[in-house]
Amino acid sequence: MALRLPRALALAALSLACVASASNSYSSVDMMRAQMALMEDRPKDCPPCFNCNLPINTCGQFAPCNGYSGKCDCPAGFGGDNCLEPLCGSLSRGQKNRPGRQGDSCECDEGWMGINCNVCTSDRACDALTETGDGGVCYTGGEVVKQNYQMCDVTNRAIRNLLGAQVPQVTFTCDKPSGECDFQFWVDERESFMCHLNDCESTADFDSSGGKNSTSYKCDKVRCECIPDRMLCGANGSVDLSEFLVEGIRGPASFECTQRAGEAKKCAFQEPEMNKLISDMFGDSSILLTCGAGECLYHTEVPGFSPDVPKINTPLIAGVIAGCSLFLVAVILGTWYLSRRQFKYGPIHLDDSDDEAIKLMTDHKPASLYFQNVCYSLNGKDILSGIQGMAHPGELTAIMGASGAGKTTFLDILARKNKRGQVSGEFYVNGEKVSDTDYKNATGFVDQEDTMLPTLTVHETILTSALLRLPRDMTRAAKEQRVFEVEKQLGIYHIRDSLIGSEEGKGRGISGGEKRRVSIACELVTSPSILFLDEPTSGLDAYNAYNVIECLVTLAKTYKRTVIFTIHQPRSNIVALFDRLILLAQGKTVYSGPLHQCQDYFDHIGYSCPPGFNIADYLVDLTMHASSTTSFDDGTLSEDVVSVGPSSTRAVKSIASISGTSVGDDSTVEASSSRPRSRRRDSVRLKQERELYTRRKQPVDTAASSDAGDEIGAYKLRQTPHRVPPHNQDDHDDLPPPAPTGTDLDILVHSYIQSDIAGNTHDEIQQAITTAANSNGQNSNGYVVDGPNINVGTMGRGYARVGYWRQFALLSQRTWRNLYRNPMLMLTHYAIAILLAVFAGYLFYGLSMDIAGFQNRLGLFFFVLALFGFSTLTTLSVFSQERLLFVRERANGYYSPVTYFAAKVLFDIVPLRIIPPILLGAIVYPMTGLVAQADKFFVFMLVLVLFNLAAAAICLFIGIVCKDGGVANLIGSLVMLFSLLFAGLLLNHNAIPPAALWLQWLSIFHYGFEALIVNEVTQLTLIDHKIGIDITVPGAAILSSFGFDNQAMWPDIINLGVFGAVFIVLAYGAMHVLLVERR
């Protein structure tokens, strides 16, 4: 036995090889002979293999034999080698995947019945057999459309009595394309005999009134066979009809059914010889049956189906258009009313026992700011170098200098703004170093340029700052009272109800000076311990400039605040309000100290301010002229001018002595005959500048009339080791030595470094640091700092800010006001949506159910998506218009970025990205006659809204990343065009190269277009009339040929939602990272 098994395997392998070779060059007869020759050497105890090519092996159900494999090609529902075994499961599994029967009966899948589970019972069971996976119908009418299956019970009483407990049944199947039917007779679910019917025709008569319906199958030829050893075929001594069936049954035959409403379908199988047998033996005219039929069809293939002709509901269309128009009118009137309404805010009066505004101003610790060795470089170039100084509570510290001196840069560094270059230096608050977070919580900053929303009023702008930045536990009434006080202080109370306005808007609004005061008010409401202002008087007239500085004086003196600001050539009455001065020239310190010592200091070093000159104007002009080489060596002046050097003793007695001199007067300036006079040399301006800014000795009378020796000593140059000045120290009229570089600026810087004022400033800084370290509670200026740990967080700003939800509410309110007071964009979106909806409805009115109608549907959906895709380019400006405002408000600690982003997105999404699609869809859908089903309509609207949101999110991200508006528009347009290319209309999915197919996954137009067209067309049946006949084409089949996936509607909708969500997150991430103040 062990030797036989290898031999058998070798023979089997050899036979398979021979069969494969013979199939290419021999006939089926030759193949059969070759196989039989191989089997001659088969072991005697090995059973023969089934081969239907052999005469001894036949196929049941009259199935054809495969001449190559020797296997039977069994009909649906039958299996085994000879097709005599019923299969279970269902037709939806496929013939090869259906299990064979295990036992006496089959267990069918849900929705299927019958001996071999071929008859459907539910529509849902048929979905798997349709091309689209849905829309299947289990047609039970009995008329064959493609391939009909019927399961019947035999009702002949005599036959049932003869069989006793055994149940007789019949299965009947017809295939319309081939015109063939099959009849099987079963007893107790075991097949007894079968008949194959050829040349069949079917007819049906349906009574639309609900009476009698009938179907009939008539076949010209019939062949029948018995299955040996089965009931009625000789089993257990039963009657054997084998010879009768083979020899007697020839046809014609018929299978006719009738059904009345509410009754079972009654059928009869008739054939002349069969009828005679039944009549002779059982007394009936034919085999009588009650049947149940089932055939899986697509819903458009069901007999009697007629495509729904779109019905245009004119009253509905008129009502929708009228409703949308009324909505637009209501929006216009509402925005007009809100924008025209006068906002009057009366003063808020608080109870004296609960004066929270006063408590805010007084309950804080004063903050002295010290700094030394402040340097700043950008791209390898030194911008600031070696600046030192201080600013005390109750004092105004002014930073002055010519344009380009570094005032604003220095102020930014003091305020700890983010700088692009390298910052170094030491900074102390009350002698201690503090973190950036604590420092910024205790400071306020007013930019030089006013950045505010033009659609808000003055009061709303200041109140928003107060509500967002004042303590959370402070009542709204107290915050409004604080706003009221600031408006009074800055003299803007009378314009509190005026719009800020802009040059580009419909109204100019308030003046530039008033805007400046509003910007200052936004910072003053928080009463910061240290307040920085960049050019607070810029754009103001002299009167209002004085009022601003006077307000700052009140803030500093009354509430012990530290105020530091830059200013450019202030009036003399404003200069008189300063306490300390920091004078810069080309990023270097020319003077840093008390203002009352400034004039005497410059007198002492040889630069006296002439009578009648504003000291501030003189110092700024001095630093500007000092930047040139000594004595005006510009190559155009004569020798007499060049001779006026740093050691010149010439002095300016008065303004009149200069301005009153004629151009040709040689008495005031030494003449030189070595070079001819030039026009520039003789100008009044040149003479004046030479007289004013030429270094001179201090006049003796001035020195002699000085108040005291100590006072003079305050401006004396400090003695430093190895740097002994080459002049008589006892002669106060003698000048300090010139700087080695030979420029007046170097002289000024060098003189200050060696002055007692610089030394005293340095000593005071060191004393403050030592005092804080020793925790003695007293600094060098006498300000009590209350204990060893001087925490900046307690300096009037260490309180809980408003929460995220409150921030979001306030910012939403501000955004809404900005939207309805500047409603043109919103109203344009609404108007375009309504007008283009009516226009598109007119062009695509009443879409037909043919190929042209299919094309028009494609065009309609493509147009709608393109409209919304490119209209979302307006989202590019959502942040661009407020980019600078957000950056500055974020830097000043108004709110968290996430609350601002949420408010902006909310009031862009709801009014501009959700309402327009709804308006357009409500008009277009009924006018064009799209599928009149509620679920289809809502899916249509959902796709439009999600597509609009996804496109808006993409544009929002681009608008944040691209600072330049032109670049953002270009990139946004290209992204939309790219997405449009892969929508599915311009380029067939199947024609896209495999390497580029992934690009379609990035197209929101593809997801939106496919979802719309699948939602509309999948269950339609399109009829095309050609050459006199109507060609019926399922919509799903056309969509497949266009490369659309009929199952992708909901995945496409989900993808649109994912795209929108992902780009919203990316947009916030870009805003959080990129929109940060960098100066």
- Contact (CB, 8 A) for 1011 and 1053: yes
Q: Is a pLDDT exceeding 80 seen at residue 785? A: no
Split at pLDDT 50, 70, 90, the class of 784 is very low
- Contact (CB, 8 A) for 478 and 350: yes
Digit-coded pLDDT (tens) for 403-450 = 888 999 999 999 998 888 899 999 999 989 888 888 888 888 998 888
Tokens standing for 321? Answer: 């258009």
Cis peptide, bond prior to residue 252, ω within 30 of zero = yes
* pLDDT score for 987: 86
| Helices 314-340 + 824-843 axis angle, to 10 | 170
Split at pLDDT 50, 70, 90, the class of 948 is very high
Digit-coded pLDDT (tens) for 278-315 = 888 888 888 999 999 999 988 778 887 776 666 666 77
* pLDDT score for 280: 86
Residue 969 CA to residue 977 CA, distance in Å, equals 12
* pLDDT score for 35: 52
User: Which value, to the nearest 10 degrees, does the dihedral of the CA atoms of residues 232, 236, 242, 248 take?
Assistant: -50
- Residue 108 phi, psi (nearest 5): -85, 155
Q: Above pLDDT 90, what percent of the chain?
A: 30
* pLDDT score for 547: 81
Which residues sit opposite 120 in a β-bridge?
A: 112
Average pLDDT, the chain: 79
* pLDDT score for 419: 87
In eight-state DSSP terms, residue 456 is: S
Q: Is a pLDDT exceeding 70 seen at residue 649? A: no
Tokens standing for 407? Answer: 């005032």
Three-state SS string over 101-118 comes to: CCCCCCCECCCEECCCCC
Digit-coded pLDDT (tens) for 83-103 = 989 999 999 888 888 998 888
* pLDDT score for 529: 87
pLDDT average, residue stretch 256-260: 88
pLDDT average, residue stretch 336-342: 65
| Burial grade of 622 (CB within 10 A; 0-12, 13-18, 19 or more) | buried
| Helices 897-909 + 1049-1074 axis angle, to 10 | 140
Cα 756 to chain centroid, rounded: 61
Digit-coded pLDDT (tens) for 28-51 = 445 555 455 545 566 666 767 888
Which residues sit opposite 226 in a β-bridge?
A: 193
Residue 36 CA to residue 433 CA, distance in Å, equals 105
pLDDT average, residue stretch 359-379: 82
Beta-strand pair 78-79/443-446: unpaired
Q: Above pLDDT 70, what percent of the chain?
A: 78
Q: Is a pLDDT exceeding 80 seen at residue 131? A: no
Residue 488 CA to residue 486 CA, distance in Å, equals 5
Q: Is a pLDDT exceeding 90 seen at residue 1041? A: no
* pLDDT score for 811: 93
Split at pLDDT 50, 70, 90, the class of 951 is very high
Digit-coded pLDDT (tens) for 863-874 = 999 999 999 998
Residue 212 CA to residue 173 CA, distance in Å, equals 23
| Burial grade of 1036 (CB within 10 A; 0-12, 13-18, 19 or more) | buried
For 813-826, give one letter per residue: b (16+ CB within 10 A) or e: ebbebbbbbbbeeb
Give the total residue count for the chain: 1079
Residue 815 CA to residue 455 CA, distance in Å, equals 10
* pLDDT score for 36: 53
Residue 575 CA to residue 615 CA, distance in Å, equals 8
Question: From residue 920, how far is each of 325, 437, 705, 926, 1017 by CA, in Å?
Answer: 11, 50, 89, 11, 20
- Contact (CB, 8 A) for 72 and 52: yes
* pLDDT score for 712: 39
Split at pLDDT 50, 70, 90, the class of 705 is very low
* pLDDT score for 869: 92
Residue 348: partners with Cβ closer than 8 Å, 6 or more residues away: 477, 480, 481, 484
Amino acid at 813: Q
Question: From residue 611, how far is each of 114, 270, 575, 657, 660 by CA, in Å?
Answer: 121, 137, 16, 11, 15
Counts of helices then strands in the chain (DSSP H, E):
35, 24
Q: What is the largest CA-CA distance in the chain?
A: 161
Q: Is 340 helix (H, G, I), strand (E, B) or coil?
A: helix
Residue 842: partners with Cβ closer than 8 Å, 6 or more residues away: 927
* pLDDT score for 10: 41
The larger pLDDT score, comparing residue 586 to residue 21, is at 586
For 1039-1052, give one letter per residue: b (16+ CB within 10 A) or e: bbebebebebbeeb
Q: Is a pLDDT exceeding 80 seen at residue 1076? A: yes
Digit-coded pLDDT (tens) for 995-1027 = 888 888 999 999 999 999 999 888 887 877 766
Split at pLDDT 50, 70, 90, the class of 685 is low
CA-angle at 433, arms to 430 and 439, nearest 5°: 80
The larger pLDDT score, comparing residue 412 to residue 669, is at 412
Digit-coded pLDDT (tens) for 455-513 = 899 999 999 999 998 888 888 898 999 899 888 877 888 888 888 887 665 566 888 77
Q: Is a pLDDT exceeding 80 seen at residue 628? A: no
Residue 1058 CA to residue 946 CA, distance in Å, equals 10
pLDDT average, residue stretch 516-522: 87
pTM of the full structure: 0.68
pLDDT average, residue stretch 802-808: 91
pLDDT average, residue stretch 574-591: 92
- Contact (CB, 8 A) for 503 and 512: no
- Least confident segment among 423-437, 514-528, 772-786: 772-786
* pLDDT score for 764: 92
How far the first Cα of the chain sits from its last, in Å, is: 96
The beta strands (E) that lie in 134-277 are given as 136-139, 147-154, 168-175, 180-187, 190-205, 212-226, 253-260, 265-270
For 446-477, give one letter per residue: b (16+ CB within 10 A) or e: bbbebebbbbbbbbbbbbbbbbbbbbeebeee
Residue 34 CA to residue 22 CA, distance in Å, equals 8
* pLDDT score for 392: 93
Q: Is a pLDDT exceeding 50 seen at residue 710? A: no
